[in-house]
A and B are shown apart, each in its own frame.
Chain A
Amino acid sequence: MKIRLLALGDSAWTVEFGETIDPALHARVLGLAAALAQARAALGEGGAFSGVVDVVPTFRSLTVYYNPLLSDGQHLGEELLRLAAVAGTVSQGGRHWRIPVCFDDEFAPDLNGLAQSKGLSREAVISLVTEANFRVYMIGFMPGFPYMGGLPAVLEVPRLATPRKVVPARSLAIAGAMCAVYPWESPGGWRLLGRTPVPMFSVADPISPSLLNSGDCVCWQAIDRPLYLEMEAAANAGVLDRNSLLLAPGAL
Chain B
Amino acid sequence: MSGLVEVIDGGIGNSIQDAGRFGFRHMGIAVSGCLDLLLARCANALVGNAPDSACIEIRAVGPALEIKHGRVRMALAGNLCATLMRGDGRSRQLLPWMSLTLFPKDRLEIDTLTGGTAYLAVTGGIRSPLQLGSRSTYQRAMIGGIDGRQLATGQLLPCATQEHRQYHESQSVPWAYADGPIRVMPGPQEECFKPESMQTFLRAEYRVSAQQDRMGMRLQGPSLVHVTPQAADIVSDGVTPGAIQVPGNGQPIILLADCQTVGGYPKIATVISADLPRLAQLQPEQMLRFCAVNAAQAKAALRAREAQWETWVSGIAFGLANVSALYNDPTAGWDCAGE
Residues of chain A having any CB pair with chain B under 8 Å: 6-12, 14, 16, 19-21, 53-63, 65, 68-69, 73-74, 138-145, 147, 184, 201, 203, 206, 208-210, 213-214
Contacts and interface: CB of A to CB of B under 8 A. Distances in A.
B161 interface: no
Interface string B1-45: 000000000000000000000111111111100000000000000
B238 A61 contact: yes
Contacts of B140: 142-143, 184
Nearest to A138: B262
18 contacts: A6-B189, A8-B187, A9-B242, A9-B272, A10-B273, A10-B298, A14-B188, A53-B22, A54-B23, A56-B238, A58-B238, A139-B27, A139-B28, A142-B141, A184-B140, A201-B27, A203-B141, A213-B26
B28 A140 contact: yes
A143 B132 CA distance: 13
B270 A210 contact: no
A69 B261 contact: no
A59 B236 contact: yes
Contact of A210 (B27, B30, B234, B242): B27
A60 B302 CA distance: 31
B240 interface: yes
Nearest to A20: B235
Contact of A143 (B141, B184, B238, B302): B141
B307 to A, nearest CB: 12
B185 interface: yes
A68 B306 CA distance: 12
Interface residues of B, number: 43
B188 A8 contact: yes
Contacts of A60: 235, 237
Given A8-B243, A8-B267, A74-B295, A57 B237 contact: no
A157 B243 CA distance: 31
B308 interface: no
B185 A141 contact: no
Nearest to A5: B188
A56 to B, nearest CB: 5
B26 A7 contact: no
A188 B132 CA distance: 27
Interface of A is mostly: loop
Nearest to A9: B270
A140 B262 CA distance: 6
B93 interface: no
A119 B168 CA distance: 78
B22 A9 contact: no
B255 to A, nearest CB: 11
Nearest to B301: A10
Contact of B132 (A11, A56, A209, A214): A209
B25 A6 contact: no
B143 interface: yes
Given A56-B238, A69-B306, 19 more contacts: A8-B240, A10-B295, A14-B188, A56-B262, A58-B236, A61-B237, A63-B238, A65-B22, A65-B240, A68-B302, A139-B27, A140-B261, A141-B28, A141-B262, A144-B27, A203-B142, A209-B24, A210-B27, A210-B29
Question: Which 6 pairs show the lowest CB-CB distances between chains A and B?
Answer: A63-B238, A9-B270, A140-B262, A210-B27, A6-B188, A10-B298
A54 B22 contact: yes
A229 B237 CA distance: 37
A56 B235 contact: no
A147 B262 CA distance: 11
Residue with the greatest number of chain B CB neighbours at <10 A, chosen from A56, A68, A142: A56
B338 to A, nearest CB: 36
Contact of B237 (A10, A16, A65): A16
B239 interface: yes
Of B28, B29, B235, the most chain A CB neighbours within 10 A belong to: B28
Contacts of B243: 8-9
B141 A201 contact: yes
Contacts of B143: 203
Contacts of B236: 58-59, 138, 140, 147
Contacts of A10: 185, 270, 272-273, 295, 298-299, 302
Given A73-B299, A208-B27, A9 B131 contact: no
B102 interface: no
Nearest to B239: A8
Contacts of B25: 54, 56, 65
B112 to A, nearest CB: 30
Contact of B27 (A11, A16, A143): A143
A7 B24 CA distance: 21
A57 B306 CA distance: 31
B187 A53 contact: no
B146 interface: no
B237 A9 contact: no
Nearest to A64: B238
A139 B238 CA distance: 11
Contacts of B253: none
Nearest to A16: B237
B29 A143 contact: yes
Contacts of A53: 22-23
Interface in B190-249: 234-240, 242-243
